[in-house]
Amino acid sequence: MNVRNILLGCAVALMAASLYLVFLYVPTEATMGVVQRIFYFHVPLAWVAFLAFFIVFAFSIIYLWKRAEKWDVIASASAEVGTVFTTLFLATGSIWARPVWGVWWTWDPRLTSALILWIIYIAYHLVRTHADGGSRGPRFAAVVGIVGFIDVPIVALAITLWRTQHPGPAIFQGGLAPSMMLTLMVCLVAFTVLYALFMLLRIAMKNDEREIRRLKLTRS
């Protein structure tokens, strides 16, 4: 029973539980109707995207400090998973906005900050592939990972200050009912476990790729 299988089992179980809770258990929200259920995916996706970005930040620092490639592998894997989750966050936000606000996109502080975050993730990957020379890619990506992570809260703050002059529709009046809170929490855990699983798979894959490259070099 290795870690991967345990995680896989947990992920499957938790996702199943989440699906049940989101679609069958939790009552329909009063104001927005059925579409509000996206919220239970939208928020955990955002949370994991930010967690992934933090992992990129932390391991970028460790990589620049220690210079062992394994730290860069973790940062790189986290950036990949983070990009996917950010894309999904933006997509679910857009899908949610359409019926509720009548538009596909709104310059809501959260969505706008997420868009910038997404662009920074893309830049992270671009810099890695476009850098001149093998050792520069991970190093440059690490710098982008560090600068980007420090920047995103400032971006969010600036955009929020900017938008308070034109307030968008509030997401929730009042707090969350207990059933909603439960659903949200389960989804949060489910997506975090999913993140961990993807990370494990991706890191293993990258390490295998590294090993193959090393074998090729020593043979030549």
Partner 1 sequence: MSFWNKALTIAWKDVISEMRTREIIISVLVFAILVIVIFNFAFGETREMLTAVAPGILWVTFAFSGVLSLNRAFVGEKEDGCLEGLMACPIGREVIYVGKLLGSLLFMLAVEAIALPVFALLFNLPVLSPELITITVLATIGFAALGTLFSALATNTRAREMVLPILFLPLVVPVIIAAVKATGLALAGQSWAAMSTWLYMITAFDIVFLVVSYLTFPFVIEE
Partner 2 sequence: MDKPARDIPELAIQVRGLTKSFGDCPALRGIDLNVRRGESVAVFGPNGAGKTTLIKILAAIMNPSSGEVLIDGLSIKDTTYEVQRRIGIVSHQTFLYANLTAYENLKFYGRMYDVPGTDERIREVAEMVGMTSRLNDKVGTFSRGMQQRLSIARSLLHKPSIMLLDEPETGLDQRAISLLWKVIRPDGGERRTTVFSTHSLERGRELADRFIILNKGRAVFEDTKHRLDLDGLREAYQRTTGASV
Is 162 a binding residue for partner 1 by CB under 8 A? The answer is yes
Identify which range of 14-22, 83-91, 133-141, 170-178 contacts partner 1 by CB under 8 A.
133-141
Is 217 a binding residue for partner 2 by CB under 8 A? The answer is yes
Residue 17, classed as helix, strand or coil, is: helix
Residue 137's CB: how many other CB atoms inside 10 A?
17
Write the interaction track for partner 2 spanning residues 48-77; mark x where CB under 8 A is met and - where it is not. -------------------x-x--------
Are the CB atoms for 138 and 72 separated by under 8 Å? yes
Q: Which does 82 bind (CB under 5 to 8 A by kind): partner 1, partner 2, none?
A: none
Is 133 a binding residue for partner 2 by CB under 8 A? The answer is yes
Nearest of 76, 58, 17 to residue 146 by alpha carbon: 58
Is 93 a binding residue for partner 2 by CB under 8 A? The answer is no
Distance CA 89, CA 106 (A): 14
Which region holds residue 173: left if phi is over 0, alpha if psi is between -120 and 50, else beta?
beta
Is 159 a binding residue for partner 1 by CB under 8 A? The answer is yes
State which of residues 15, 17, 100, 123 lies at the interface with partner 1 (CB under 8 A): 123
Is 158 a binding residue for partner 1 by CB under 8 A? The answer is yes
State which of residues 53, 79, 148, 194 lies at the interface with partner 1 (CB under 8 A): 148
Is 56 a binding residue for partner 1 by CB under 8 A? The answer is no
DSSP secondary structure letter of residue 37: G
- Pair of tokens at residue 122: 């893309």
Place of tokens 């606000």: 101
* Residue with smaller CB distance to partner 1, 132 or 219: 132
Are the CB atoms for 125 and 111 separated by under 8 Å? no
Q: How far is the CB of 137 from partner 2 (least distance, A)?
A: 8
